[in-house]
Structure 1
Amino acid sequence: MSAPDSVVADATGLLAGLRPDQVLLWSGAGISVEGPTSLPSGPELTRRVFDTFFEAGALATVLTYHQVVGLHTNQLCAYDTGLPAPQLPRLETALDAAARARPDGSPDTFDILDDVRKAAPNRLHAFAADHIALGGRHVTANFDTCIEQAYETRQGRPVPDGAVHHFHGSFAHSPDNRELGATLSRIRTGFPEEEAERLYRLLRAHRAVIVIGYSGSDYFDVDQLVARLPSDGLRGLRLLWVMHSGHPAHVPDQDTVPLQFLLREAGADVHIVCGRTDQLLTQVARDWGLPAPADPLPRAPADPRLRVADAERHRASFLLYRSLGLHREVRRLMREGGTGADDPVEQRAVRSQLLWEAGAWNTLRRMWWHAPADGPDRYMRAERIGACLWAQGRLLPAWLWLRRQRPKVIDDPAAAYALEETVNRVIEHMHRTPDLRFLGRRLLNRMPAPRTHDGTGPGNDEQQRYETAFRALQDVRDSLDALRRGAPRADHRHAEQSSSWFRESGDLQGMLSYRHRVLRDGYRPDDRGAGDEALRESYGQLLTANLFLGSTAGAWRTVLLPGAHRVFSAHEFLFALTTLQYGWWHRFRLLAWYLPRRLRHRSTGGRLALASGRRGPVQAMRRRMR
């Protein structure tokens, strides 16, 4: 590993020959942690939000689920030798639930960020201000106005228009807090086209970018913007990314966040340095003839809190657990005090979600059948009845019902996407079912070719607004296109990207659903021997994670994955068939699919996990749950 001084010299050498006005600074919350600014780091702010708005122990509860489903923090570099910790929930997801739980979305929810509004600049903001004075420009994810304050103090005049761009908004431009990109509902749709174009122009207008204090965790907007660029979109751009740490300055062995990889894919020359930010900025300041950053000042963090009633904490926790797919916790809170709202539409939606995840599709279908056909949730009623029939394997009744509902939902894009996705899944299922394959092929051939969409980001404003529903529809259409070609999907990128999208938003159930599809698409029937052990491990992990969330349906759908005959015993398979409310004919279909494969596998040397003395997925799950 190179000596720290040589690493810094090599890094700043990337800027050799460039004037300050040719270099763009890009910053995140890390530059505002030092005193006197003393703002919380991302983890500190997340803990503050949980302590303020949610029931006691909510953060520990979420972290336990993250541990079980395998969401862990990434190591920054080789110097980080500790065991991976459970990943903190996304701050924007928590703030979204907190805001929705309070009366009228209470703008005063964001008073939890009052120290951000009142923050004073520190030495890193002063460096940024000096850079602007030399003609530089600055892009930041931060809401505070510390750079603008530092510039006005040092130059005696306001910062020039356009010199500082807050791509998530700032308190200066959104004093009522409503335009801040602080909640999931604000950021999950990505940048509007105008904002995306503005950021792209800023990147292309400069020869180099220095990234400081930025975690690179803006998956929904910055990542999607860069992912949509052509392979030469950032060609010629030099990008120096400083990953702040107390380690001796060094170059990490690999990209530490996905955005760094995406920038390389777009043609940028990305150079990453791990170490102290001020060490590198001191060298840059020297090269540009600027004052070196002063010595750091101690932190004096504030701790703004709001008075939140117990009922609001209950409601916020309930909304958070729903958005995360923690069905076990949703059921618990309902037993302890309901949903915190008297709206019958919401009550029905909650019950619908829980019954679906329990695999109680007969019960759920009856519930929706008796719901008002002209009520506010009539679109959900139309889709859910068809979805229940599909899940039970009653494919022809499902298709006939959904076809009749299509004209009724055309005026609601979200409902139309959801219903169309279910129609497509029915046809996909028909195509894979021997007794309905002929009809499935005919329906498939009559369908239009799927619309072009690269799966990395919304294709237009409507798709952007209804990203969740559109993503699910695009995934099944891609699967149908593979069936139309008569070949398996060439890869499982759609399912992997969707799994990532749900993981980033915090929806663990959505993430596991697409992990299921990744396993289905990635199955290789010729992988024998040690492959059985790997299959048993991956299928068992998926089953365990679903059961821990409280999704019986998600868990026992695992026995329908390709290769299930290599993993699950007949007892386990029969248990799954009788636990979920499949139709009787579908149970016969599934058993007829499983048994010959199981017997053939055993006759060619395969052994049941139980027969060989090893724990099968169910036994392993029970051991972990004790």
Structure 2
Amino acid sequence: MTAVFTGAGISGDEPTALPRGFGLRDAVLRTMHEAARDALGALVTDEQLEELCGADYKLEVVLGRLWGTVGPDALDCVLALRVDVPNEAHMLSALHLLRGGTHVTVNFDVGIEMAYDLISGAADLPPGTPREYLGALPLWRQAAPALRTVSSHDEFAAWEADGRPPALLKVHGGLTRDQDALADVVVVDIEELGQLTAERAAAVDGLGAAPALMITGYSGGDPDVYGPLLAAAARTAATWACLELPAGSVVPGDAHDHGIDLVLGRPRGLAATALRELLGAAPPWPSVPFPGDGFNDRFHRWEKDLRAAHPAGTIAEAWAWLLADLGKVDVAVAMFARLDARLRHAEILYNRARGDDREAAREMFRQVGAEAPDAATRLHCLLRLGDIARGRANRQARGVRVLGHLAESYLRAVQVLVATRGGRRHLEEGGDAYRLLQQTSLRLLEQMATVGPRAAWPALALCCRVAARWGDRAARLVRNGNRLSLIRQHRAMLRAVGALLRGTPAPSDVRADMRALRATYRAADDLPGAGNCTVTLAVLARAEGDRPAAHALLGEALTDYAAGRPDGRPLPSGEALVKVMTRLIDR
């Protein structure tokens, strides 16, 4: 039977009427903008709001920044996605499940589950439901087994152990059945970049085994889902029905490349139309509003609670963070200085890396680390000092001074490992210490390979293998998706450099992994991250003897490093990496 994949678009029609596209994201942005203006006055402008609303940032990026400053309260806006009566697309999706189909979704709400319960007789329509629905429901009702909904990580593990039976598979988690809590939701970008768990990835991959696949109510772009979904769709007869796509969407080109039939616009692009065509005969279902509170009412309650619980300045930090992501780094630096948010201010200076930015960041990290009451912040500051020392060794120092900077970088990592007992306490910080060991070793080995005798290359290749094991340990400890991706890229680079130094091609999985990670970074609009992956691909090309391809890839990486930079110049650390790799490739 045809499998189905859906996004939030299936919940857009009445009576559910939940926001399509960027509706929820834009509502959160307006909340943040208002709070930031209260805290920062004229530094916050309407033009900033317009630019952020016009950008391709997903809800997960916006909530990731807000969550990073106010904590879990940021995610409770998802509870505004409450359903009282399911719409036609929900009813048709439930009918598909009732007939034995498999349905994978990134939608959070419980509209499909409610529809299934109505059809099976396990639930009735709530009081106050318009008479149109009361009259239509008897035409849908039939005996049915209980629906298996798989949302939490534990439920996915059980589903995998049971042999992957047909079910409603919510690979980004969702609201609990009573709609008052969240079940393992993926709603911030650091989780998306961490990729799907093995069981959730299996749900998407399994779509390719169905005789046909219908994708609807989904505009693409999830870094953790989009690539696997395309790969699954390419293995079967796939149709992608969508009301509309964002300007500049990559979906049309990718659909063509993967043999997917793309259908856009009304009426065939609507989820209800696509599902009705898939199922054939199905009873009608009304589309009239449900009385009572809707999404806007519930969202405004969350907004009011958020503003009451958190100072405007704390929310303003998230606003400044988003502007920095947008490339308005100088404005963000001014905002963080006004807010006296020293840790985030130091992070932005570290990433801007212009002039004496990193020296200023170094002093801020020292001060924050010395004054922080919590161990996590103190350990993070120590690791950042190690990162800055490594950067000094790479870009600034000459002669014996390099040894001092490298020694400091290693020392900071060791300090954190001692404090965390090798990562047994404070897992995230312990894993980040192993990340620092791997990254510092990688940069040291790259430099040694470019200046040392070729006779030393076999020994350096062995060192690359040892350093990659620190990455293995780091990956077992950390949960931050950004950090996991960085660890993954550095480990792949060590394997690529090791292959080049040995004079043998790298394992095939390294290239596939870097291509997939580069696509993930690009889907997340993280072009420097994509550039790092492209440099790794360049080293792989040289290991296979293709020097022209390696140089072309390094040029592509430089373009990625320059994208969105205020001065139009490549990120200094990226430019330095390309120079080192150019020397290595030309040896």
- Kept after mapping to 2: 8 A contact 1:357/1:552: no
Matches within 5 A, 1:505-544: 505-507=524-526, 509-511=528-530, 543=562
Report the Cα offset of residue 207 of structure 1.
Answer: 3.7
- How many angstroms apart in 2 are the aligned matches of 1:281 and 1:299? 23
Alignment of 1:480-559 (within 5 A): 480-486=497-503, 497-507=516-526, 509-511=528-530, 543=562, 545-548=564-567, 553=572
The question of 1:148 aligning with 2:100 is answered no
User: Which residue is equivalent to 1:208?
Assistant: 212
Q: 7, 10, 14: which is aligned to 1:35?
A: 14
Cα deviation per residue 1:364-403 (whole Å; 9 max; x = unaligned)?
6677789769943323333432332222254444445555
Structure 1 segment 189-268 matched on structure 2, within 5 A? 189-197=194-202, 200=205, 204=209, 206-221=210-225, 223-224=227-228, 238-245=236-243, 256=252, 258=254
The offset of 1:428, in angstroms, is 0.5
Match of 2:441 in 1: 423
| CA–CA distance in structure 1, aligned partners of residues 275 and 435 of structure 2 | 49
Q: Would the aligned equivalents of 2:91 and 2:116 in 1 still touch at CA under 8 Å? A: yes
CA contact under 8 A between 2:14 and 2:288: conserved in structure 1?
Answer: yes
The alpha carbon displacement at 1:180 in A equals 2.2
Whole-Å Cα distance in 2 between the matches of residues 226 and 336 of structure 1?
A: 45
Q: TM-score, normalised by structure 1?
A: 0.63
Residue 311 of structure 1: aligned partner:
313
1:287-327 deviations in Å (ceiling 9; x for gaps):
xx433x55765899742331335324312213334566753
> 1:518 offset after TM fit, Å?
6.9
In percent, how many aligned pairs have the same letter? Answer: 18
Offset of residue 424 of structure 1: 1.0
Residue from 49, 56, 72 that aligns with 1:88: 56
Output the CA distance in 2 between the equivalents of 1:417 and 1:24. 40
The answer to whether structure 1 residue 99 and structure 2 residue 116 are counterparts is no
- 1:235-384 correspondence runs (5 A): 238-245=236-243, 256=252, 258=254, 270-274=260-264, 275-277=268-270, 278-286=272-280, 289-291=281-283, 293-294=284-285, 302-303=295-296, 304-305=299-300, 306-307=303-304, 308=307, 310-321=312-323, 326-339=328-341, 348-354=346-352, 356-358=353-355, 375-376=378-379, 377-384=381-388
Alignment correspondent of 1:160: 146
Query: What's the C-alpha RMSD, in Å, of the aligned pairs?
Result: 4.9
Q: Deviations over 1:150-186 (max 9, x none)?
A: 2333332257231433222222257333632222234
Name the SS for the 2:112 alignment partner.
helix
Secondary structure of 2:389's partner?
helix
**Distance of aligned partners of 1:211 and 1:470 in 2 relative to their CA distance in 1, 3 Å threshold:** same
In structure 2, the residue matched to 1:136 is 101
Distance 1:27 1:59 in 2: 34
Residues 565 and 571 of structure 2 are in contact (CA less than 8 Å); yes or no, is this contact kept in structure 1?
yes
The structure-2 alpha-carbon separation of the partners of 1:215 and 1:440, relative to structure 1 and needing over 3 Å to count, comes to farther
CA distance in 2: counterparts of 1:352 and 1:535, whole angstroms? 24
CA displacement 1:61-100 (0-9 Å, x = unmatched): 488599xxxxxxxxxxxxxxxxxxx652121010122233
When residues 245 and 48 of structure 1 are mapped into structure 2, their CA distance, relative to the original with a 3 A threshold, is same
User: Partners in 1 of 2:315 and 2:366 — Cα distance?
Assistant: 34
Aligned residue type for 1:161: L
Contact 2:103–2:168 at 8 Å: present in 1 too? yes
Alignment deviations for residues 181-201 of structure 1 (CA, whole Å, 9 cap, x no partner): 222234332233333345556
Q: Number of residues paired by the alignment?
A: 487
Q: Name the structure 2 match of 1:52.
A: 31
Q: Which amino acid aligns with 1:545?
A: G
In structure 2, which of residues 491, 507, 514 is the aligned counterpart of residue 474 of structure 1? 491
- Tell me by how many angstroms 1:473 deviates: 1.4
Write the distance in 1 (CA, Å) between the matches of 2:340 and 2:570: 20
One-letter code aligned to 2:384? M
Q: Is the 8 A contact 1:189 1:464 kept in 2?
A: yes
Deviation at 1:414, TM superposition (A): 1.7
Shift of the alpha carbon at 1:471? 2.3
Structure 2 residue identity aligned to 1:417: R
Kindly provide the amino acid, as one letter, of the partner of residue 69 in structure 2: A
Give 1:14's aligned residue: none
CA distance in 1, matches of 2:486, 2:355: 22
Distance (whole Å) between structure 2 residues aligned to residue 541 and residue 345 of structure 1: 27
Determine helix, strand or coil for the equivalent of 1:211: strand
What's the counterpart of residue 576 of structure 1? none
Q: Please tell me whether the aligned partners of residues 64 and 188 of structure 2 are also in contact (alpha carbons under 8 angstroms).
A: yes
Residue 609 (structure 1) aligns with: none
Residue segments in structure 2 that go unaligned for 5+ positions in a row: 38-43, 124-144, 149-166, 424-429
Corresponding residue number in structure 2 for 1:171:
175
- Distance (Å, rounded) in 1 between the aligned partners of 2:111 and 2:255: 25
Aligned with 1:432: secondary structure? helix
2:216–2:240: 8 Å Cα contact kept in structure 1? yes
Partner SS for 1:196: helix
Q: CA deviation at 1:516?
A: 6.9
Q: 1:484-518, CA deviations, whole angstroms, 9 ceiling, x for partnerless residues?
A: 14589999776655443333334455445656777
TM-score (norm 2): 0.66
Q: Which residue of 1 is the match for residue 89 of structure 2?
A: 124
Distance across 2 between alignment mates of 1:114 and 1:379: 36
Q: Displacement, 1:480?
A: 1.4
In structure 2, the CA distance between the partners of 1:118 and 1:357, relative to structure 1 (3 Å rule), is farther
In structure 2, C-alpha distance between the alignment counterparts of 1:450 and 1:257, rounded to whole Å: 41
Distance in 2 between the 1:129 and 1:27 partners? 12
Letter in 1 for 2:2: V
Answer 1 or 2: which has greater helix percent.
2
SS in structure 2 opposite 1:117?
Answer: coil
What whole-Å deviation, never above 9, does each CA across 1:324-348 have from its counterpart, x for those lacking one?
Answer: 6753232121243332xxxx65565
- Quick check: 1:357–1:554 contact (8 Å CA) kept in 2? no
Tell which deviates more after alignment, 367-376 or 185-194: 367-376
**Superposition deviation, residue 44 in structure 1:** 1.9
For residue 132 of structure 1, report the CA deviation from its aligned partner: 2.9
State the distance in 2 between where 1:439 and 1:348 align: 42
Q: CA–CA distance in 2 between the matches of 1:113 and 1:234?
A: 29
Q: Secondary structure at the match of 1:241?
A: strand
**Are 1:23 and 1:210, in contact at CA under 8 Å, matched by a contact in 2?**
yes
**2 CA distance for matches of 1:406 and 1:165?**
40
Distance (whole Å) between structure 1 residues aligned to residue 391 and residue 476 of structure 2: 27
Question: Unaligned regions of 5+ residues in structure 1, if any?
Answer: 1-21, 67-85, 228-232, 248-253, 564-589, 594-626
Distance 2:205 2:563 in 1: 43
One-letter amino acid of the structure 2 residue matched with residue 283 of structure 1: E
Distance 1:101 1:318 in 2: 11
Return the alpha-carbon distance in structure 2 between the equivalents of residues 488 and 63 of structure 1.
48
CA distance in 2, matches of 1:48, 1:202: 33
